[in-house]
Amino acid sequence: MKKARLAGPTLTGIKDPYMTTTTPPLEERLERGEITTFAPCPFALPTGDDLAFLTQQQVGAGHKNISFNPANHAVSGFVSHTPEQVDRLQNLMGDFSQRVQAWLTALLPRYAAGWQPDRASLRTEEEATRRLRLTARNDLLHFDAFPSRPTRGARILRCYVNINPTDERVWATSDSFAKVLEKFGATVGLPTRDSNTWVRRLGQGLLGLFQPNVLERTEYDEFMLRLHHFLKTCDDFQERAARRLWHFPPGTAWLLFSDAISHAELRGQHALEHSFFVAPETLALPAESPAALLDRMICANSTSRAA
């Protein structure tokens, strides 16, 4: 465990130069909404002709990114190619997916014990100028929620890499899920305790909620989607919430739980990304997960209504 030496006050009031503070484990910092950067990227990235090939790709109409499914090695969302080009894209995205998985398995073994690798993506559009419908825009603050791939209470861990050879990628982050839930939860519309299976199952514990590849949304997924759409259309939040700017230079990787910290992708072109659904039972701080925080708010609301 990493320790930092800090001068601090002692009981006698004299500063002790050897007093130590302990940095919380990476899992706890990530689960609480930190973004952790790795520069240079700790695994091999495409170079030369392979990098040029990736940066020349174009996203097909109706798609946000070029997508790779590690379960079947299928790529989708690109402008049509020859079979040879499809093979090359599949191989490059497959290599990226394997390298991220190997690195994260060593870095965060407790998650790897029960995660579901989700999609990897190639992001070739300039974020600052791309035209997307409002709720699909990346440059507005939001927490991630995937309409077509419900997590059913699992958390969304994402690894990004800026593969632009020359330009940085710029993000903004703002309030945590806990803070936004407190402020806007009731307005977004909390699930009711007696009307959904999800809450009843949460009451029996988080184990069993996480069922990979089940496409039916739970009330948790529905709430996260409502929150996602609400925040992107909330001028008050977009214009007044405190922001921190992040500048990710070429060759930098960064990790975050994108359901824990509100974020916006402001500028940048050419990035690789990989998502993982992390099972609740493998979390370091399961009681602080968005699903658990939402459940506590629902319980508190139903108790106060019954009183």
Please say which residue, 36 or 195, places its beta carbon nearer to Fe ion: 36
122, 65 contact by CB (below 8 A):
yes
Tell whether residue 175 is a contact of Fe ion (CB under 5 A).
Answer: no
Encoded tokens for 175: 């309030």
Cα 154 from Cα 208, distance rounded (Å): 11
Phi, psi of 220 (to 5 degrees): -60, -50
CA–CA distance from 6 to each of 13, 19, 29 (Å)?
15, 6, 20
Please say which residue, 124 or 202, places its beta carbon nearer to Fe ion: 124
Please say which residue, 127 or 144, places its beta carbon nearer to Fe ion: 144
Cα 65 from Cα 89, distance rounded (Å): 13
CB of 228 to Fe ion, least distance (A): 9
Please say which residue, 125 or 144, places its beta carbon nearer to Fe ion: 144
What count of other Cβ atoms lies within 10 Å of the Cβ of residue 63? 14
Site size toward Fe ion (CB under 5 A) is 1
Encoded tokens for 34: 């930190």
CB of 79 to Fe ion, least distance (A): 24
CB of 210 to Fe ion, least distance (A): 21
Please say which residue, 144 or 221, places its beta carbon nearer to Fe ion: 144
CB of 142 to Fe ion, least distance (A): 6
CB of 84 to Fe ion, least distance (A): 33
Interface residue with Fe ion among 34, 144, 175, 219 (CB under 5 A) is 144
Encoded tokens for 218: 């739970």
Please say which residue, 65 or 97, places its beta carbon nearer to Fe ion: 65
Cα 96 from Cα 173, distance rounded (Å): 26
Residue found under tokens 């909620």: 209
CB of 214 to Fe ion, least distance (A): 22
Q: Which stretch binds Fe ion (CB under 5 A): 87-95, 144-152, 205-213, 248-256?
A: 144-152
Answer whether the bond into residue 70 is a cis peptide, omega within 30°: no
Footprint of Fe ion on this chain (CB under 5 A)? 144
